[in-house]
Amino acid sequence: MSETTKLLDFLQQRVPADDASHKQLCTAVLPALVDAVADISRVLRASSAVSQVGTANAFGDDQLNVDVSSEEAVRRALDGCAAVVTASSEEDPVEKPTGCRPEWPPAPDSQEELYSVAFDPLDGSSIIAPNWSVGTILGVWRGPSALHQDPQTRQVAAVLGVYGPRTTAVVALRIPGTPPLCFEVAVGEAGAADSVVVRPDVKLAAAPFKTRYFAPANLRAAAEDARYMALVTHCIQNKYTLRYSGGLVPDVVHALVKGHGVYASPVTAASKAKLRRLYELFPLALVVECAGGRAVDPATGADILAHPSKDTDERAGLVCGTAEEVDFVIKSLLG
């Protein structure tokens, strides 16, 4: 696969032409999401200052001007995509019909190819002011709702947009009947139209590993949990390379780019879970699994995608990355 393969050409080549049941996913939905990533990149470059706007989202989180602008960018992209009938986000966590499909609900006997998108428009609010890399998390679900759906089969795609010196996106596809696919896109100024696939097969490597990477999120929990403290100490003593920025998307994507890494964000009684399953954990888990890794709940050891989400505010911790490392971390945390 050429390094300059256009995104749309790549999708046409890698997704079976006879799979008419997911045609709109590849020709309309994913391009619209890449367009949204490009639009958010422009928004961030044009935002000379980052400030609170004096409002809070439905979860009570204070909103930044860039949060609001990023939310609007994704909504605009989805409003132009007829296959997406509903969407919800961390900023507006109620599944609502998109502007392109105001009828709600769809006809029960509809045979149309319909999708719902659940997304976090801008992940990394705590580190954007110092101009660190941040991201966007988007999950695509088959049907008119992402709630009460099996994440392993109904979430068919996910996109992680990364805003740094370059704007990139890691895209995962898991369409029933086809092999899982994970690839990296260099996002162009015009969005999907001039975006190219720079890594057609994003895969986490198998042992032996030349360098081991560790991203210890929620590090304060180590003061409350001796097992987490012991895990951090183990990584230091065994010369793991620390790669943690505080941005969920860039920290997870770092492992995918390097081919190795484990991201750990445990939960304790004093350090509650912050990551929302629908908007952050499910899409991230799909990407990591399509790259050959694992994503699990550190409180139980269960796969993140093992259970559906009953509401938009369900939260959990996260351990994800290289399967061997994830297994070791879970064993260390749970015994």
The predicted-structure confidence for 134-151, as pLDDT tens digits, reads as follows: 999 999 999 999 999 999
Q: What is the pLDDT of residue 158?
A: 98
pLDDT at residue number 272: 85
Whether the Cβ atoms of residue 96 and residue 88 lie closer than 8 Å to each other: yes
Q: Above 80 in pLDDT, residue 8?
A: yes
Dump pLDDT digits (tens) for 273-283: 899 999 999 99
Give the pLDDT confidence score for residue 2 in this predicted structure. 46
What are the C-alpha distances in Å from 28 to residues 10, 33, 177, 302?
14, 9, 20, 34
**pLDDT over threshold 80, residue 326:** yes
Residue 212 has pLDDT above 60, yes or no: yes
pLDDT, tens digit (0-9, with 9 covering 90-100), for 282-299:
999 999 999 999 999 999
Please enumerate in sequence order all residues whose Cβ is within 8 A of that of 238, keeping only pairs 6 or more positions apart, or say none. Answer: 212
Q: Check pLDDT > 90 for residue 182.
A: yes
Q: What is the mean pLDDT of residues 180-206?
A: 96
pLDDT over 50 at 125, yes or no: yes
Angle at 141 between CA 252 and CA 319, to 5 degrees: 25
- Under 8 Å between Cβ of 267 and 299: yes
Q: Specify the CATH number of the domain 5-199.
A: 3.30.540.10
Which of the four pLDDT bands, split at 50, 70 and 90, describes residue 102?
low
Q: 5-199 and 213-334 share one CATH topology?
A: no
pLDDT at 18: 63
Q: What is the pLDDT of residue 332?
A: 97
Report the CATH fold assignment for 213-334: D-Maltodextrin-Binding Protein; domain 2 (3.40.190)
Q: Which element (helix H / strand E) includes 108?
A: none
- pTM value is 0.94
What pLDDT does residue 100 have? 76
- Amino acid at the residue 229: M
> Which residue's entry shows tokens 């992940």?
123
**Token pair belonging to 318:** 């996260």
- List the 134-142 sheet strands across, edge first: 5-6, 191-199, 181-188, 167-173, 155-163, 134-142, 115-123, 84-89, 96-97
Query: Which tens digit of pLDDT belongs to each residue from 58-79?
Result: 676 777 899 999 999 999 999 9
- Distance of alpha carbon 232 from alpha carbon 214, whole angstroms: 9
The domain limits of the chain are 5-199, 213-334
φ/ψ of residue 250, rounded to 5: -65, -30
